[in-house]
Structure 1
Amino acid sequence: MKPATIEFLRNRFSDYYSGRIRMTAPLRVPEALDSREWGFMFFGTKSTPGMRRHLSFPGPEDLYSYLRSMTPAHVFYSTAYYEHPAAPTMEEKGWSGADLIFDLDADHIMRGPYDQMLARVKTELLKLISMLSNECGIDANRELSVVFSGGRGYHIHLHSLAMRSWKSAERRELADYVCGTGLFLPAVLADAKRPDRGWRLRAKNALRATLTHLQSLPRDDQARLISSVAGVSKDGAEKFIKRLPGLIQSLEYGEFGSCIHDPVILSMASDQDSLLSQEIADRAALADEPVTTDIKRLIRHPSSLHGGSGLRVTPLAVREIDEFDPLIDAVVFSDRPVRIESSFETSMPMLGSSYTISKGTNTVPEALAVFLCGRGIAELVGDGN
């Protein structure tokens, strides 16, 4: 990144943290501010050191003053609560609990245009919130908060006091449940008296969708797809094709016993690349499990700016998620024209309009210029003023 581009980004972020940008929401502080460790990354060249961490602030004004004077590119704070958050080693900090975090990152879900990735990850966010509130006993209005990361995803913060003391093992159990990790199909479907909800209902729907799809294929495609499953021979695939109509009929009558004992279905359930496993995975939460199990994690600070996009790390009420558009609602910079030099042709929506950027010199709104420069796609032309 060229010095002029670095200075442009630093000046724009300084405007935000100094309160010179009108009509933006106020900066926030997390609960128990003085018990949190803070970390910062700054604009600079590749030779600039990475994160500056092991910092703490006794009060909100101390944090605000740091943001105004230092103008960080990225702002993080600990999900953990510490007795001595500024201590230089984790052992000396004195861990006393941590919020539980779910991280949904579109990079781990799909590839494609940025706006499409944001739309898809929002769908996954709503799915996960539904699982947590309807199946895990979490009060979405009191114990759960949502934050747009400013990049490609969302964070869910669980603030339950009962969960705060959980170590990694307990957090992993919750992550395994929502992500369907270690799901054993026969055990989930075996007891016909259990109500159809949670993973039992999802597994039934996944099995039904798999068999229905197989039934719709030409016979050669059926044989090819089934014999590609680990542990299934061509002869086994042919025999399964003959059983398939009867298996589907049994599902229509709500009888799953023959399915959960079928050797080919069991092989499909064990093969992560099979159609059945993909159907199950589509119904699981696509959260980044290591983030949830980490009890000493640093997470982006809500109301800060993301140095790779210029978008606001935006806290949201659950009721606001449906209408939230990050490329409008998380934008804090203006639409004044700025000249940039793009390294390649691309297109990008921003502030309700769509822009086609050609390789070379372009004039774009300031908010888009910040985004493209932060992403490393473009460099500033001139001084940006």
Structure 2
Amino acid sequence: MLLDEAFNAFMRRHKSFGSEGELHEYLTSMIPAHCYYSVAYYKYPSAANMSDKGWSGSDLIFDLDADHLPNAPNNYSEMLDNVKVETLRLYDFLTKDFGFSEDDIQIIFSGGRGYHIHITEDNIKDLDSNQRREVIDYLSAKGLNLSHLFHHKRFVPELQKDGDDLDLNINSGWRKRLNAYIISYLQDSLDSSNALEVLTSHKGIGERKASMIIDLCKDKKELNKIKEGNFNSLFNIDKNLILSIAEQGIEKIRLNIDEPVTADIKRLIRLPGSLHGGSGLKVIPLTYSQLKDFNPLVDAIVFNETPTLINIQTEQKFELNGMKFDLDVGIQEIPEFAAIYLMCRGVAEHES
């Protein structure tokens, strides 16, 4: 994406390059404000019409944006902290539930408000848009039916005809995750000073039932049964308690991901190594271990501390490169990296 002399943005598309050097030469000569590439693979990538390109597959892409998370804070630093946690949770789903290896997964800081995850494994490249939406449905728990997770004849008669057991198969997937959540919830309730209050917050649970649940969970034998996915004893106290905790667990475990990005098999996405034109921060590829300690407001900065004059249009308060800024309207001299950041956001102009 380029800017014309009037600073209006326009796209230059359908470009292909024979080598990394050729791409580098093009970018340094054009100096684009934003740089994207297609996640799709084409037989004829330089063809001007999409129908002539010959689509032959696409990486599986996930876009995690701080703006899409519930209760997103206004503070940029806090937004980035939240979305990093969500990215780490997605990585956990992809490796444990889908079986992708670390070599299959590329993590990219977008340079803006979040992260992109690319799955490059060959077996997923032929997935169509609907199949990719099903991946998002799984991650976001869309359509998840608790009666199909719990095996009990009162919920799913065809699954349990001879018994009356409430069993959560905990081998993998959402069953395993919900089992872990329920155990954690019960143990945290027991350890808290207001265990009765926590348990009675569930519909139909009074103090008597809450006391019975506490006594039950203190029994190591019964607690081990629960850990193995057998909830019969709890079900006998109140049939709706486990379902209530599980529904709460789903809301806490489910992911918030931009579905249109994942479903789009011809998506354009930011080029790693380029600069984000809305922040001046670098689009950086990361490993899982690097992500855990990654601080984008320090590690994605590429400009220096050369004093730079800018004319600020509105009051600005932010933190960047370990420095806090509280700037009034008007001409200010600040480090180059901070000046670039404000100019990219469109709240300041360079003052010569």
Give TM-score, length-normalised by structure 2: 0.79
Once residues 201 and 248 of structure 1 are traced to their aligned partners in structure 2, the CA distance between those partners, rounded to angstroms, is 23
The change in CA–CA distance for 1:105 and 1:45 in structure 2 (over 3 A counts) is farther
Post-superposition Cα deviations, 1:108-150, rounded to whole Å, max 9, x if no partner, equal 111321111111111111111111112211011x111111000
**Aligned residues of 2:14 and 2:47 also touching (Cα < 8 A):** yes
The equivalent position to 1:325 in structure 2, one of 295, 303, 318, is 295
Asked if 1:378 is matched to 2:340, the reply is no
Structure 1 residue matching 2:167: 3-state secondary structure: coil
* Partner in structure 2 of residue 77 of structure 1: 37
The change in CA–CA distance for 1:81 and 1:379 in structure 2 (over 3 A counts) is same
**Aligned residues of 2:315 and 2:327 also touching (Cα < 8 A):** yes
Post-superposition Cα deviations, 1:179-200, rounded to whole Å, max 9, x if no partner, equal 2222112222337262254312
**Aligned residues of 1:189 and 1:256 also touching (Cα < 8 A):** no
Asked if 1:112 is matched to 2:74, the reply is yes
**Aligned residues of 2:196 and 2:207 also touching (Cα < 8 A):** no
**Aligned residues of 2:281 and 2:301 also touching (Cα < 8 A):** yes
* Partner in structure 1 of residue 134 of structure 2: 173
- Deviation, structure 1 residue 207: 5.3
Asked if 1:121 is matched to 2:83, the reply is yes
Q: Which moved more, 1:169-178 or 1:203-212?
A: 203-212
- Deviation, structure 1 residue 216: 2.2
- Deviation, structure 1 residue 53: 1.4
Post-superposition Cα deviations, 1:203-232, rounded to whole Å, max 9, x if no partner, equal 24555778859952698xx5xxx7xxxxxx
**Aligned residues of 1:350 and 1:368 also touching (Cα < 8 A):** yes
Post-superposition Cα deviations, 1:317-351, rounded to whole Å, max 9, x if no partner, equal 22211221111111110111112232333322222
Once residues 123 and 283 of structure 1 are traced to their aligned partners in structure 2, the CA distance between those partners, rounded to angstroms, is 12
**Aligned residues of 1:185 and 1:203 also touching (Cα < 8 A):** no
**Aligned residues of 2:168 and 2:231 also touching (Cα < 8 A):** no
Identity over aligned pairs, percent: 38
The change in CA–CA distance for 1:341 and 1:199 in structure 2 (over 3 A counts) is same
- Deviation, structure 1 residue 300: 0.3
Structure 2 residue matching 1:310: 3-state secondary structure: coil
- Deviation, structure 1 residue 152: 0.7
Once residues 373 and 203 of structure 1 are traced to their aligned partners in structure 2, the CA distance between those partners, rounded to angstroms, is 46
Post-superposition Cα deviations, 1:285-329, rounded to whole Å, max 9, x if no partner, equal 222122112111001000000000011100112221122111111
Structure 2 residue matching 1:216: 3-state secondary structure: helix
Aligned counterparts, 1:1-385, within 5 A: 40-42=1-3, 45=6, 48-109=8-69, 110-140=72-102, 142-190=103-151, 192=167, 194-195=169-170, 197-204=172-179, 206=181, 216=197, 222=201, 239=204, 241=206, 245=210, 253=222, 254=226, 255-256=230-231, 262=239, 277=247, 279-380=249-350, 382-383=351-352
How many residues align? The count is: 318
What is the identity, as a one-letter code, of the residue corresponding to 2:109?
F
Which sections of structure 2, spanning at least 5 residues, go unmatched?
A: 152-165
- Deviation, structure 1 residue 45: 4.5
**Aligned residues of 2:170 and 2:179 also touching (Cα < 8 A):** no
Which sections of structure 1, spanning at least 5 residues, go unmatched?
A: 1-39, 227-236, 270-275
Structure 2 residue matching 1:65: 3-state secondary structure: helix
Post-superposition Cα deviations, 1:85-119, rounded to whole Å, max 9, x if no partner, equal 22233222110001111111111111321111111
- Deviation, structure 1 residue 377: 2.1
Give TM-score, length-normalised by structure 1: 0.73
CA RMSD of aligned residues (A): 3.0
- Deviation, structure 1 residue 175: 2.1
